Chains A and B, each alone.
Chain A
């Protein structure tokens, strides 16, 4: 490796484009010219600024900053490199190029971390997907900030070395010290304090929530203010079974990229619940931003619940952006310089008032809306996005007597057990992770009795429903059958499934 210009040091790093890892080779060499550092290969501003950080850090760590020119190439040159996580591999590269650490020690080394002016190594967002990338790209052992070591160690089949500062890095690479073992952060299932028992009365709403949880069906809640729409949505979230380990890692990786996750936080097995305000922008919802698009609320709710309250307050075009990702279970955001794909298998819960004033059908207060305004308002409750929501229900306010009375329904634990059983039944039939929500036309028809099918056809005709109601009803009926541990969809399952639609706004 040594020649006229000394050592050519090579360190690996992982560049993330969204969640997709790419191997980056960091080549570091002394060169002729004025003292300084020359960084090539599409570094962004944060990577460019690394020079100032690592120079000071190296000097303050009692190491030597070379009085000559250092050229660093980030290869492949056309891949954009973003963030301060490149500080650590750059520093290691410089130290190796200046022969302060043996170049041989860099074999099979990958590093990720931000370097402080005092030489300390700090965690960066995206440590978890970086660790996954390091394993999948077989870059060798991974040096990360000690604070993030637990997170990185969640990835199996990868040697993770947590480091506190540059001094320690040098000591480890010179062989003066042995690495500490990095233990994965513990996993936990935070016990939800939201119990379904708290929902008084409302047996139909409770049943709907159970079906939504079991089949992963998207849910539309329509009801006057204060009738408990949000309360139901949160309890629906509490009904979802805990995540499998690989699912939890997937979720944590997205949150890690978004910087929403403290690196030393335990790995949560609870599905995420996201409740963005209705003033959210399209980029906030589906992801975006300059350069490489960051995950939006949709991706952050992956494998969990995305709750949008006051649905009709959010502009139509923003809502319509949800349509395709809800159907595909992933969102692809294309920007001038990158294309990013985030998974987005969410249970979408939308809540809205029944009419502009909010009191249509409310026994406590009369609605003051003009009928044509209600009609127009309701018209906005249909369309491509709403067609993808399988369950539509009207939530009715509970009267005071029931509110004051004792809790009368089943608890979350009881219902969650049924939900889990139904999901397992579906998974046995269709394969792991498949929900009734995802089923295709032919799969649905296969499990439907002839009588059920003719009931459905008759009902769709009699109720003047659109053809789209067909698949929607069958999907829900499938879940109802699974909740009742029945293999073939029967007419009564179809009939119940048909009940989860909105009624006419005025009496006819």
Chain B
């Protein structure tokens, strides 16, 4: 019995992040690995029990001594984490994000947090969330906000799903700072597959200082309830939550609710009144969420949150507030080559895309009105896609970056 536990402890020591006691981690993982037990049970016990002393110690005590039968399973789980270079911190430990630990145990922070890549850090970021079934409009807005947030030195947090989440995460690629992805499954599960494959979005994010966090055991599949409950982690890691797009019963509403519970700011991006994809933000607006019509508005809502490396362009945007047309060009425009001057697109095409932004223009409409031969147009569009100037989706083509005359 004790031999198995000793083995467990030595594996735990290799995944335990700074300040986390391998004994406690091993005990809790062993507890969670038992059939029909769940780390949440610990939280419930702690809520009902004696609430003095450090959180981590209380939790470990509640988990009780591991039994020999469950230890090999726990050792395997810990071994899987070790193999993937995952670090784990228990709630209350120094490496566990403080913004997330707030409200233990009532607000359900996860008992442990397992991450790949950079340590998640203690400062809250900005959560940009929304539907997987995103329109180009929603993706465009999400990317626009995410770029500005990253440039302001604030981490973008989202759920790593397709659609809005992917647009928000993706916009941070190539910018210093990194982004935090909150997975709805274990680290060993490739979900969503298109992001988790080699060289996919997750790999790119990790390369650029990103973090993939999860509260699940390594092999836990992405069940619906699990994906819903990870939304509270997204909210917990963010000072403000922006819901960009979402249907009537969108999971983003849960994220917004969790943020409100924690006293964090909730913002919503208005959309077309008839668009089914904007139902969730509109409902939030009706319930008192702040409107988010520009990155400036979003950064303003962060209030006390300091903008450490804010470039001058964004300062102007913040100062101008809602005065959108007059705002100066953001500094990032020139860097990416998309927004200002340096376009490889034919002028008529570029003008049409600028007029439409953040809405997409359908390819056939572009071709019908562009006054350029179709072949040349397609070649130019490919070039612009490779350069990252435009993005193409089923509903049309849009500029990736906001045009210079938009705040």
Q: Which residues of A contact B (CB under 8 A)?
A: 201-207, 354, 360-361, 363, 366-367, 369-372, 374-375, 394, 396, 398, 402, 458-459, 462-464, 480, 484, 491-493, 495-496, 498-500, 503-508
Contacts and interface: CB of A to CB of B under 8 A. Distances in A.
Interface in B362-407: 362-364, 367-368, 374-376, 378-383, 385-388, 391-396, 398
B163 to A, nearest CB: 5
A491 B344 CA distance: 14
Interface stretch (B82-90, B91-99, B136-144): B136-144
Nearest to A493: B379
Contact of A205 (B167, B364, B381): B364
Contacts of A375: 162, 192-194
Q: Which 10 pairs, one residue from A and one from B, show the smallest C-beta to C-beta distance?
A: A507-B139, A361-B394, A495-B379, A499-B378, A507-B136, A371-B132, A503-B392, A462-B386, A507-B393, A495-B382
B379 A499 contact: yes
A459 B382 contact: yes
B372 to A, nearest CB: 10
Nearest to A367: B133
Nearest to A508: B166
Interface string B189-218: 000111000010000000000000000000
Given A205-B364, A371-B162, A495-B383, A354 B378 contact: no
A241 to B, nearest CB: 21
B134 interface: yes
Given A204-B374, A207-B374, A507 B379 contact: no
Nearest to B200: A464
B395 A492 contact: no
Interface residues of B, number: 45
B360 interface: yes
Given A394-B394, A464-B199, A507 B194 contact: no
Given A464-B199, A495-B379, A499-B378, A504 B393 contact: yes
Given A463-B385, A506-B394, A507-B134, A396 B362 contact: yes
Given A361-B394, A507-B395, A396 B386 contact: no
Interface of B: 132-140, 162-163, 166-167, 170, 192-194, 199, 276, 360, 362-364, 367-368, 374-376, 378-383, 385-388, 391-396, 398
Nearest to B364: A396
B315 to A, nearest CB: 29
Contacts of B387: 462
Contact of A204 (B166, B363, B376, B386): B363
Contacts of B193: 375
A508 B364 contact: no
A508 B162 contact: yes
A202 B385 contact: no
A503 B386 contact: no
Given A360-B394, A492-B376, A507-B391, A204 B367 contact: yes
Nearest to B161: A371
Given A203-B367, A204-B364, 6 more contacts: A374-B133, A495-B379, A499-B381, A507-B167, A507-B391, A507-B393
Contacts of B396: 361
Nearest to A206: B374
B192 A507 contact: no
Most chain-B CB neighbours within 10 Å: which of A372, A458, A496, A508?
Answer: A508
A469 to B, nearest CB: 12
B133 A202 contact: no
A504 to B, nearest CB: 5
Given A394-B394, A506-B393, A508-B167, A203 B364 contact: yes
15 contacts: A201-B368, A202-B364, A207-B374, A207-B378, A370-B133, A396-B363, A396-B364, A462-B387, A495-B378, A496-B375, A496-B379, A499-B382, A507-B360, A507-B393, A508-B167
A507 B140 contact: yes
Contacts of A500: 378
Given A201-B368, A205-B364, A361-B394, A506 B133 contact: yes
B200 to A, nearest CB: 8
A506 B386 contact: no
Contact of B364 (A201, A372, A492, A505): A201
A507 B137 CA distance: 8
A170 B166 CA distance: 84
Nearest to B275: A366
A162 B381 CA distance: 63
Nearest to B378: A499
A263 B47 CA distance: 90
B130 to A, nearest CB: 10
A372 B133 CA distance: 9
A481 to B, nearest CB: 10
A204 B375 CA distance: 8
A396 B396 CA distance: 10
B10 to A, nearest CB: 40
A51 B199 CA distance: 73
A2 B11 CA distance: 100
Given A360-B394, A463-B385, A507-B163, A207 B375 contact: yes
A508 B132 contact: no
Nearest to A227: B364
A508 B163 contact: yes
A506 B163 contact: yes
A205 B378 CA distance: 12
The winner among A370, A372, A500 for most chain B CB atoms within 10 A is A372
A155 to B, nearest CB: 44
* Of A394, A402, A496, A500, most B-chain CB atoms within 10 Å: A496
A396 B392 CA distance: 14
A370 B368 CA distance: 32
Contacts of B192: 372, 375
A496 B194 contact: no
A508 B137 CA distance: 10
A215 to B, nearest CB: 14
A93 to B, nearest CB: 65
Contacts of A206: 374
B391 A354 contact: no
Contacts of A499: 378-379, 381-382
